[in-house]
Structure 1
Amino acid sequence: MAMVSVKSLHAGVVMTAVLLSGCAGLGSVGGVGTAPETPEKKVVESAPAEPKTGAGTGSQRHLPQQGYDAQGKKVAYVPAPNPYTAASKPVPPEAVARFRSASDLMADEQYRDARKAFEAITRDYPDLSGPWLKLGELAEIGERMERAEKSYQKALAINPQNVNAYLALALFQRRSGDFEEARDTYVSALELWKDFPEAHLNLAILYDLYMNQPALAQPHFEAYAFLTKGDDPQVADWLIEIRRRTGIETSFIDNPPPAPKAPEETVSADPMAAEKSSETTKTEEKG
């Protein structure tokens, strides 16, 4: 599977946009401008890794499903709302301004000053989770991995509905080689919000390229394509490629009901019609 190159942490792996929302949280929201991190090349194929009992099927419990009406026509799918934005609370304007200023310092690679700025925000606004995600990113840039993980966990502790925190933590775990932990974190995100496109996509990439389980990856590639209305041509190509490898052509998302049977032919009011029809057939056979 051809993949795009790994995004630099300097560009913000998870936080590609700033959106202030959620339970007093700061940061970008999954589904809005967030892109998955993908590896530079496909790992060497080997014997499939053994998943924990129920691990694969557990993730498939959170797949969206295309619905149909009584006539067999598709019903428009309405995704579940993002819990992070649905429970949004006003963020003090001063906090917004300081967060943006700190983000600008980070974008300019003034990491020490950015770290101090975000730490100050956490002290003055302890109920904001977004600054902790930024501190996690900065810790990774400085290769302080233990501090990075604690920062991501702190963001989740402050705001368990911050879907970005799940995404950031799972990506960190995957980069650290903790594939099963990353999988479980993605599944936790989907338990919170089953229609989280980026969680489906990143989980699919994890299953396929890092855990060598393409059959478990395929449903989540499909879920991402379904939730984003197939707007990503690269993911469409990945789906074609993975279906060739798994041999699974049946959709995990869209399973239309059987086509309605054609109505039975009305019996003619002429009691001799059936017999006449039979005689005609015999005549044609003789001819």
Structure 2
Amino acid sequence: MAMVSVKPWRTGAFMTAVLLSGCAGLGTVGGTGGAPDAPAPKVVESKPVKPKNGEASQRYLPRQAYDAQGKKVAYVPAPNPYTGASAPVPPEAVARFQAANRLMADEQYRDARKAFEGITRDYPDLSGPWVKLGELAEIGERMERAEKSYEKALAVNPENVNAYLALALFQRRSGDFEAARDTYVAALELWKDFPEAHLNLAILYDLYMNQPASAQPHFEAYDFLTEGDNPQVADWLIEIRRRTGIETSFIDNPPPAPKATEESASAEPMAAEKSLEAENTEEKG
């Protein structure tokens, strides 16, 4: 099964603002968009504790709920803590970030690195530039510097979910699969309804760690959270269920039919038989 990992960020003005977002201790800065807004900015003092056991990731699966009548209750995803921002990113910082991104896209890597470094000096509360510096370090095959840049992004803003993905992908590419798993799990501990973390964790489990039974719940979680809008993932789910033999959903387990309904259904044939007996008696009389 050929799979391609989800990139930890997307291009465009929205994700530019998201990548720039700010610092723990000062509140979250900037970013609005696809995910629901947080009711209020949350300050996180340190990175979430990484569970030592990768199977702990199943604690962060979404669950389809049902009402008393057995009907599905609309699922409301937890808000993205990174985009639930309260203060805008300074326009100058956004402009400089976009200019640095253009340099990077044009493969002017040295100038791009200097530009992003300048942003980190002038706007130390912004974590996004550190993610980009990590990317540039990887391009230059400076792996130790890349890892430190991703970790710095998380130190500046422990709610930067994109930095978790960037660090985990770096760890996976470096062959440290257990560290990558723990980083994805840490991201899900921060935001349990993080679709890309579920998908990349599933790919890691399946293709790199040969644990398809651990991968299946997270493929299901991604499919559920994105409302099945990725047909390729739907195909992967069919294929992985064939391999694991697990057909029961980890996400959607409908309750048994109400007892009263069952009794009513079983009583209907009996009532029909009694009605027929009555008709026969009348005819004989």
What TM-score results when the alignment is normalised by the length of structure 1? 0.80
Verify: 1:15 aligned to 2:9, yes or no: yes
The 3-state SS of whatever aligns with 2:228 is coil
Moved more, 21-30 or 141-150: 21-30
Q: Aligned runs of 1:141-152 on 2, under 5 Å?
A: 141-152=139-150
Match of 1:90 in 2: 88
Verify: 1:244 aligned to 2:238, yes or no: no
CA distance in 2, matches of 1:101, 1:54: 40
CA distance in 2, matches of 1:62, 1:193: 8
How many percent identity over aligned positions? 77
Alpha carbons of 1:134 and 1:165: their partners in 2 closer, same or farther (altered >3 Å)? same
Verify: 1:262 aligned to 2:259, yes or no: no
Alpha carbons of 1:241 and 1:211: their partners in 2 closer, same or farther (altered >3 Å)? same
CA drift at 1:263 = 3.9
Q: Which runs of 5+ in 2 are unaligned?
A: 36-50, 281-285
- The structure in which a higher percent of residues are helix is 2
CA distance in 1, matches of 2:123, 2:170: 25
Q: Aligned runs of 1:24-39 on 2, under 5 Å?
A: none
Alpha carbons of 1:221 and 1:199: their partners in 2 closer, same or farther (altered >3 Å)? same
CA drift at 1:259 = 1.4
The 3-state SS of whatever aligns with 1:200 is helix
CA distance in 2, matches of 1:31, 1:54: 31
CA distance in 1, matches of 2:151, 2:63: 31
Q: CA RMSD in A?
A: 3.0
Match of 1:64 in 2: 62
Match of 1:210 in 2: 208
The alignment of Structure 1 onto Structure 2 pairs a total of residues equal to 250
The 3-state SS of whatever aligns with 1:84 is coil
CA drift at 1:90 = 1.4
Q: Aligned runs of 1:119-134 on 2, under 5 Å?
A: 119-134=117-132
Alpha carbons of 1:28 and 1:111: their partners in 2 closer, same or farther (altered >3 Å)? farther
CA distance in 2, matches of 1:193, 1:31: 15
